[in-house]
Each structure stands twice: as C-alpha cells, then as structure tokens.
A and B are shown apart, each in its own frame.
Chain A
Amino acid sequence: MPESGQTCLKLKNLKVHYGSLEAVHDVSFDVPTEKIVSLLGANGSGKSTILKAVSGLMKLTRGEIWFQESRIDGRSPQDIILKGIAHVPERRALFPHMTVSDNLLMGAYSRKRATKKELEKDTEEVYQYFPVLREKRKSLAITLSGGLGEQLAIARALMAKPKLLLMDEPLQGIAPSVVRDIGKLINDLNRRGITILMVEHNISMSFELSDWIYILETGELAIQGAPEDLSQTEYVKQSYLGV
C-alpha cells in the first residue's frame, strides 16, 4: 500500500458480479491524493469493472468504496460526478454526432449552478490545454482521430472540475507518435492536483507515469508496489516485461 499522503479513494473488500460470473473478488486498495495509480492485468482481470464500480455504472455485490471522507458505493453516476470523480471510459464514450464544443458542455452538465460566463471561461481554459480542439470545436466528434478523440474525452472530463480522474485505457487506439503526448498530459493534470486512477495495457508508459501500481489477476489483487520495485520482481519480469 502506498505510504505517503492522504487517501483519496479507498476500496474495501470489493466484490462485483456480471450475472453469475464473479468479475472482482474481494479487492481492497487505496489511491493516495494527488498521485497517479495504475491498475494492470490481463483482459478480464476486472480492471475496467473496478472503475465502473467506482463511478457508479456497476453495482457492487459486496464491499465499500470511500472517496475522501464519504462512502460512495450504491450511489448513482450523477451523484458520484457531483462528488468530484470523473470517468473517461474505455473507447471514450464521446457523443459522436455532437460537436466538440457540445461534448465539452456535456462535460460540465453536473455543474448546474455554473453561469454561461463561467462555462465559457472553463472551455477557454480547456482549449488552452488542447489547442487543436479549439480549431475543431465545430466538428462532430465522430470525425476526430484516435488521439484527438482521447484529448476530447479528457477535456470533457476536466469540464466537470474533478478531484479524481478515472481513465480506462487512455492510450488505446492512439498513434504511437501521440502516446507520449497523452502521457505528458496525464502528468500535467496530476501536477495540477488531480488524482488519477488509470487502467492501461501499455506497460512501459504505466510504469513511467505511475507512483503506484496494482496488478490484478482473474479478479483478485496479485501484487502491488512502486514501479521501480515492481519491475525488479520475478512476477512482473516474466508476466509483463518479457525478461
């Protein structure tokens, strides 16, 4: 378990089922505030299911989820985003036939009291981070490339002003030349004080970006540690680094 700092997210004995199939079995872990934490594991190991459980898209069979000081399991996605948790899901879940600017406005949907002026200011701030999105603001999301689509998904999540960002395979389907840019962006967001819990198949980038890594195997926590320590273990060397 990571030692330093306060806990942003705490999962206790999480159990999640898809029908009769148990996808997550008794998983407990912490995500420290203002850190980047990665969940690694093979397909079907329960990584995305955990993110969906945190953001309220999936119901728990058992267990507890705590965000800062409040218990959030059993809450709806609209309650959870109000708490400050934004989820960039697998394959991004953009609104393909809406423009880039409408997608961004949807990101701020939970901020009911935000004035038009505030939303314009926030959109402008996001465009400073993602200048290409400003150029494409009138384009439909379906017309964006993989890299720009990921930028839009992250930008949309930022419009909710999250404290914790859940990212499900942010590097999936992105040209190799853009992977490093997205990695840098994740680091920048973290430096701005956003805690990040990320699921990723790109092992080298995950080890480079993360402060702490949890590895899941068939729905259970197999091993955890700081990237530099984990990379020395036989388990990681054999299973992930191919050494």
Chain B
Amino acid sequence: MTFAQFVQMFANGTMLGFQLSLFATGLTLVYGIMHIINFAHGELYMIGAFAVWFFFEELGINYLASLALAMAFVASLAITLERIFFKPMRGYHIPSFIMSTGLIFVLQVSIISFFGVKDKGVESVFPGLVKIAGVTLSVERLMIIPISLVVIVVFYVFLRWSRYGRAMRAVMQDPDGAALQGVSIDTVCSLAMGIGGAMAAAAGGLLAPIFVVNPFLGPPLAWEGFIVVCLGGRTSLPGTILAAFIMGYIKSFVSTLVDPIAALMCAAAILGVILIVRPQGLLGYEA
C-alpha cells in the first residue's frame, strides 16, 4: 500500500464515517427514545436522496436549498410514519421490527410508482479536484465532511443545550421520570423520528451527487446502521459517532484492499467480539 493509497482510503473512510454518523444517530435516537427497531430508516435515507434529486435536478432549486427541503420533507414523512405506525409499537421490539420491514416495501413501491425503477443521477455540485499531501481528491467527496459536520454540530447543540434536547435525553434515560417533570412523551417521540428522518435525508442527499439514486439504496445501509448502533452502545450518541467512523474506515480500507463483502464481514466480526467482551457496546451504559 502506497502513501497515496492510504490518504485516499483515509479520506474515503472519513467521508463514510460522516455519512454513517448522520444516518445512525437518527437510529440511535429513535431506538433510545421509542425502543423500536426501525429497519425502514434506510428508506428515509433513500427518499432523502430522491428528494434532493427531485428538487435539484427536476425543479432546478439550488443544491443546499434542495438538501434543506429534502430534510424538511423527510422529517415530516418520518413524523407521519411515527404517528400512524410506530406509536402503537413503542417498547415492542419484534412487532416494531416486523412493521418496519413492511414499511420498507411500502416506501420502495411508493417511490417506484412515482419515479420508476431506473437509476437517477445528480450532477456534480462541487466539481473539481484538490491535492492534499500529494494525493488528488475529489472536492465533491470532501465537501461531505464540512456539511455533515455542520449538521452534527447543530444537532449536538440542540440536544445539549435546548429545552427539547434536554427533554429528549431525559426520556432516553428515564421515560417515567421525564413524564413526571411534564415532558410529553408523544411530542418527544415525534421529534426524535423527525430529527432522525432529517439526518437520514441529509446523508442520502449528500451522497446523491456521488453515487446513483435508486429505490433500493435503503436496506444495505440500514444493516450497516444497525451494526454501528449496536457497536456504539445502542443508546449512546457519542458511541454511535465513534462506531460510525470505525465502520467507515473498515469499509474504506478493507473494501479497497480485499473486497466490499470482506469489509462487512470484518465489521460484523468486530461487533461480535465487542458484544462478547463489552455487551453494552463501546460507549453504552451498563444495564
């Protein structure tokens, strides 16, 4: 492996880490607050990518505005799904899992019926190349890093210092205790789904100009997202972000040096070992 290859793989791993952080923090939030396993989270990512394609390519709206619109649209969709389908499933792992797998098909078929099954391309938003440490990197891929960082920092500030953010953390730690302080659990659950949906849409929208957009993007990422959530500690947001970067680097390095299937097997094996040694995950709390 040359130094140039290393830098290339490291940059790709960082980009994937940010993408997975955006995607998986939403999953952690939803699991931590509602105790449901939402495998349809991947479809929110896919719909986010489609929404960016639609606003940007079809309606000609500026890319960053398209991304913001896509986040708002998917957040509204996620809140609607929560109110109709997930509210009665709160706290029930298996029924929520079955419900969410059903939703995968419903959402995929809905997108296919509107936009067809063919791949969609989003033209380059940040064209050009840049040389870092003697290695040529795509600006398009690098731009994922600052945009994701802004979204994650805004989310962190909201969660850490806002009234609703504090309420969300409280519900994650003790729902009855939070209800007794006057927190509406229904509002917090909807907010969690909305924020989770918006972040999944951001991940999808950021990747849209790099990869093709199609209705089947969701499930593979959902699997990776669940590995990340379990590895990080299920209800720990810092743990999720740490695990997302571990997963990103494994994907980048092992995919390039061996092959993509080996990368997933490697991530699953690491998850297995961590769960045996530390069942609560990397930064999770002991039950």
Is B one of A's binding partners?
Answer: yes
Q: Is the CB of B180 within 8 A of A81?
A: yes
Cβ–Cβ contact B177 & A107, under 8 A: no
Q: In the complex the two chains form, is A89's CB within 8 Å of B181's CB?
A: no
Within 8 Å CB of A107, what residues of B?
181
Chain B proximity of A199: nearest CB distance (Å): 15
Q: Answer whether A110 and B182 are a contact pair too, CB < 8 Å, given A57-B176, A89-B176, A95-B177.
A: yes
The closest CB in chain A to the CB of B186 belongs to A76
CB atoms of A81 and B166 under 8 A apart: no
**Prevailing SS type, chain A contact patch:** loop
Instruction: State which of B169, B174, B182 has its C-beta within 8 Å of the C-beta of A82.
Output: B182
Interface residues of B in 158-176 (CB under 8 A from A): 163, 166-167, 169-170, 173-174, 176
CA distance A160 to B285 in the complex (A): 29
Q: Mark A149-171, 1 if CB is under 8 A from B, else 0.
A: 00000001000100000000000
Which parts of A104-133 form the interface with B (CB within 8 Å)? Answer: 105-107, 109-110
From B187, which residue of chain A is reached at the shortest CB distance? Answer: A78
A206 at the interface (CB under 8 A from B): no
B181 with A94: CB separation less than 8 A: no
Q: How many residues on the B side are at the interface (Cβ–Cβ under 8 A)?
A: 17
Interface flag for A25 (CB, 8 Å): no
Give complex CA distance A232, B210 in Å: 83
Question: How far is B199's CA from A137's CA once the two chains are assembled, in angstroms?
Answer: 32
By size class, the interface of chain A is 20 to 34
Cβ of B180 and Cβ of A87 under 8 Å apart? Answer: yes
Closest chain A CB from B37 CB (angstroms): 22
When distances are taken between beta carbons in the complex, the residues of chain B under 8 Å from A87 are 180
Residue contact B176 to A93, C-beta cutoff 8 Å: yes
Counting chain B CB atoms within 10 Å of each CB, which of A106, A107, A110 scores highest?
A106
With the chains together, A12 CA to B181 CA distance in Å? 25
For residue A102, CB closer than 8 A to chain B, the reply is yes
Task: Please state if A109 and B163 are interface contacts (CB–CB under 8 Å).
Answer: yes
Within 8 A of A (CB), among B226-265: none
Is the CB of B275 closer than 8 A to any CB of chain A?
no
B152 part of interface (Cβ distance < 8 Å)? no
The smallest C-beta distance from B168 to any residue of chain A, in angstroms, reads: 11
Partner pick for A81 among B169, B176, B182, B285, CB 8 A cutoff: B182
Most chain A Cβ neighbours within 10 Å, of B167, B178, B180: B180
| Residue pair B177, A93 in contact (C-beta under 8 Å) | yes
Among B42-100, those with CB < 8 Å from A are none
Separation of A19 and B167 alpha carbons in the complex (Å):
30
Tell me, yes or no, whether A173 is within 8 Å of chain B by CB: no
Partner of B182, one of A78, A89, A94, A105: A78
CA of A94 to CA of B180 in the docked complex: distance in angstroms?
A: 11
Distance in angstroms between the alpha carbons of A82 and B166 in the assembled complex: 19
Q: Contact string, A82-100, partner B, CB cutoff 8 A, digits 1/0?
A: 1000110100111111100
For B285, the closest partner residue in chain A by CB is A97
| A110 neighbours in B (Cβ, 8 Å) | 181-182
CB<8 Å pairs between A and B, sample of 15? A57-B179, A57-B180, A78-B183, A81-B181, A82-B182, A89-B177, A89-B180, A92-B177, A93-B174, A95-B174, A96-B173, A102-B166, A106-B181, A109-B166, A110-B181
Beyond A109-B163, A110-B182, 6 additional contacts (C-beta under 8 Å) are A57-B176, A78-B184, A86-B180, A94-B177, A109-B166, A109-B167
